[in-house]
Amino acid sequence: MGYPFLTRMSVNKERTSMLLGYDDNTCEWCSLDDTGRIDSRQSLSEHGIGSDQHTQHIQFMGRNRVLVITQDKVGKWLHLYEDEEKARLVQTLFVKFPFPVMQAAWQEGQLILLFSIRHRSGAVRIGLYDPEKDEARWVTPDLDNPQFVFWSASTREVGVNVGGFGRVYSYSEEILPSSEIPYTEYAYPVMDKQGELIAVSIPMEDGFQPGWIRQGEDRVHECSRDSQPFSELIRMQLDPHQQLVLCEGITCGRWQYVQYTLDREKRYELYDYPGILTQAVLSRDRQGLIGKYESIVRPPVPEIYRFSEQTRTIPHFSVERDERIGKHPDKEPDVIYGWVRYVDDMIPYMDMHPEDAEQVVIYLHGGPHNCLFDSFSPVISGLYQAGVRVIGLNYPGSSGFGMDYRMRIQNDWGGVDADVIQFMREQMLSSYSNVSLYGVSYGAYLALLVAGKSPALWSTVVACAPFTDLEGLYAGGGAKLRSFLETEIGELLHDPSALRDRSPTAYVSGLSEVDIQLIHGQADQLCPVEQTERLYLDIMENKQMSGAVGRIELHIVQDMAHEVYSERIWAQKAVDFLTCSRVST
């Protein structure tokens, strides 16, 4: 896109500094005032970045020290900076350590890295690595699909969730490699631990309620019994000194923050605002949230929400950074949040409807268990500016609308979710002659499947990073993907006929009748690029045999993996393809 894109943001524990990392491998160390606004910024540039290196990790190491980890084909480079005002590089260390770093910390004067390994069996184990000694040790045994929550180097504790239960593992130098690593198990998933307080997520019939436990006691304290449960509870932050807990989650598809006192008083609630604010922490004066803000038309930036002002204000950026970020539309699309009944389900969707729009694009998110928010989408923004109506569909299986809705596609990929898409086309959008499909990852799979089954309903399909053959996806997948598919579509895996029926490769004839654009990253490790290439060749062959007319494009993007925000790389290409027929008539 020609400008740096914010990919990482972190605020130190004292709320005095912020780290910003961009996709061009540049990093900035920013000082914050009491309210959370940026006072000054320094570029972390002394370590330089070679053409074959990329920034893998950045984080604070205490109040006034920053770690930057870069990686090349040979190994990792650990760069330590000190002094916020001058950002001086004080140490660089090279290590041949192949595993991604989850976190880093000082432990008894030594830099220690937390990492994880997934075995071929699918089990995951978490360990610590000492780069000075080039030694590693385990801090958990092999675990089945663990969710990492926290690491406290000072108390030598690691928190994970396994099978719906929370575990806090305690390790010390006295524990031998052959010894069983002790842990405390909790009846609910753990979310944070500060001192003797443990934050937990309490499953409810219609969501999750935040709560807390005091170490050594069995009593669970709910933060509130009167508030609507979170559809998804993403993060909790305990503040034992202020006796507060900050909860971050999703309710009915909207990002939400709620702060409670430990005695159940609700201090404030941030909900129903344009765009989304994520990864937020309290400012130093406790009167605002500092987080990563984005909207449909605006890429991620640091932003503050001040409780007293009840309005959002963006921290001041220097002119130089503003020029590098580029221009984006000032006007946000008018977003209508609607629901449509399908059999016994209420299907949620977002509707961006320019005046006099004659074309509609149904936008399908990936996942399948993601959720479409009014977050940054250059495709939606581009279509809206072109006068196209966009329906952002949270099809069955989407998160953020309760566990029952999330589980609706269990053992039913390409079933009810595909039916809902066709239902909306035939019922809600029947007056339009020009309706197209745009999907990413799982959404791209659905777009191809639905279009292949009923090609007459669709004008154009853009499928980005799809998979097209369920049987091949399972057969060629690694342990993690195979385990995921066994959980998600286990029954279908034993029925080759059903797998073929729910794979776009079975509908090449129908897909030959639709204008199709296929986009895929060459470095995609999740959805095989070979499946996209094979589908393209099959469609081309069918077109030659059948004489079917229509456009078909294949774009393979070198070095692009299956990653968040990759849409910005192909956005203009997709918008141009989707609007071509409308513009040319």
- List, for residues 216-265, the tens digit of each pLDDT value: 888 999 998 778 899 999 999 999 998 999 999 999 889 999 999 998 88
- Kindly give, in sequence order, each residue whose CB lies less than 8 Å from that of residue 381, ignoring residues fewer than 6 positions away: 296, 297, 328, 329, 333
pLDDT at residue 36 above 50?
A: yes
- The pLDDT of 547-567, averaged and rounded, is 91
Name the least confident of 88-97, 257-266, 324-333, 510-519.
324-333
The neighbour count for residue 106, using CB atoms within 10 Å, is 14
Residues 100, 113 contacting (CB under 8 angstroms): no
Q: Which residues of 453-478 are buried (b: 16+ CB within 10 A; e: fewer)?
A: bbbebbbbbbbbbbbbbbbbbbeebe
pLDDT at residue 329 above 80?
A: no
- The pLDDT of 417-425, averaged and rounded, is 97
pLDDT at residue 313 above 80?
A: no
How far apart (Å, rounded) are the C-alpha atoms in residues 417 and 446? 8
pLDDT digits (tens, 9 = 90+) for 56-87: 999 999 888 999 999 988 899 999 999 888 89
Residues 295, 335 contacting (CB under 8 angstroms): no
pLDDT at residue 565 above 70?
A: yes
CA distances from 255 to 277, 294, 314, 349 (A): 7, 12, 19, 15
- Residue length of the chain: 585
How far apart (Å, rounded) are the C-alpha atoms in residues 179 and 70? 34
Dihedral, CA of residue 556, residue 557, residue 559 and residue 565, to nearest 10: -130
pLDDT digits (tens, 9 = 90+) for 131-154: 999 999 999 999 988 999 999 999
Residues 508, 451 contacting (CB under 8 angstroms): no
How far apart (Å, rounded) are the C-alpha atoms in residues 243 and 221? 13
pLDDT at residue 321 above 50?
A: no
Tokens standing for residue 11: 């605020």
Percentage of the chain exceeding pLDDT 70: 94
How far apart (Å, rounded) are the C-alpha atoms in residues 142 and 224? 36
Q: Which of 258, 250, 268 is nearest to 208 (CA)?
A: 250
User: In the block, which residue shows the tokens 């998110």?
Assistant: 365
DSSP 3-state of 452: helix
Q: Give the DSSP H/E element, type plus range, for residue 567.
A: helix 567-584
Percentage of the chain exceeding pLDDT 90: 69
So what's the pLDDT on residue 317? 45
Dihedral, CA of residue 495, residue 498, residue 503 and residue 506, to nearest 10: 110
- 312 Rama class: left (phi>0) / alpha (psi -120 to 50) / beta: beta
pLDDT at residue 325 above 90?
A: no
So what's the pLDDT on residue 173? 74
pLDDT at residue 180 above 80?
A: yes
How far apart (Å, rounded) are the C-alpha atoms in residues 198 and 195? 8
So what's the pLDDT on residue 271? 83
pLDDT at residue 470 above 50?
A: yes
∠ CA 119-122-126, nearest 5°, is: 55
pLDDT at residue 112 above 90?
A: yes
| HSE value, Cβ hemisphere, 13 Å, CA-based, for 420 | 31
- The pLDDT of 86-106, averaged and rounded, is 91
- The pLDDT of 493-498, averaged and rounded, is 92
pLDDT at residue 320 above 70?
A: no
> The sheet that has 157-162: what strands, in order across it?
147-152, 157-162, 165-170, 183-186
Residues 59, 104 contacting (CB under 8 angstroms): yes
So what's the pLDDT on residue 319? 32
What is the residue type of 374?
D
So what's the pLDDT on residue 479? 81
User: Given pLDDT bands bounded at 50, 70 and 90, which one contains residue 386?
Assistant: very high
Question: What's the per-residue H, E or C state across 533-544?
Answer: HHHHHHHHHHHH
User: In the block, which residue shows the tokens 């009944």?
Assistant: 341
How far apart (Å, rounded) are the C-alpha atoms in residues 182 and 145? 19
Q: Give the DSSP H/E element, type plus range, for residue 471.
A: helix 470-476
- The pLDDT of 300-319, averaged and rounded, is 67
pLDDT at residue 585 above 60?
A: no
So what's the pLDDT on residue 582? 42
How far apart (Å, rounded) are the C-alpha atoms in residues 181 and 159? 13
Backbone angles phi, psi at 261, to 5 degrees: -80, 160
Looking at the DSSP assignment, which residues form a beta bridge with residue 519? 464, 555
How far apart (Å, rounded) are the C-alpha atoms in residues 409 and 407? 6
Total-model pTM = 0.90
So what's the pLDDT on residue 52? 78
So what's the pLDDT on residue 315? 56
pLDDT at residue 311 above 80?
A: no
User: Given pLDDT bands bounded at 50, 70 and 90, which one contains residue 482?
Assistant: confident
So what's the pLDDT on residue 2? 56
So what's the pLDDT on residue 584? 39
User: Chain-wide mean pLDDT for the chain?
Assistant: 90
- The pLDDT of 447-474, averaged and rounded, is 96
- The pLDDT of 11-33, averaged and rounded, is 93
pLDDT at residue 316 above 60?
A: no
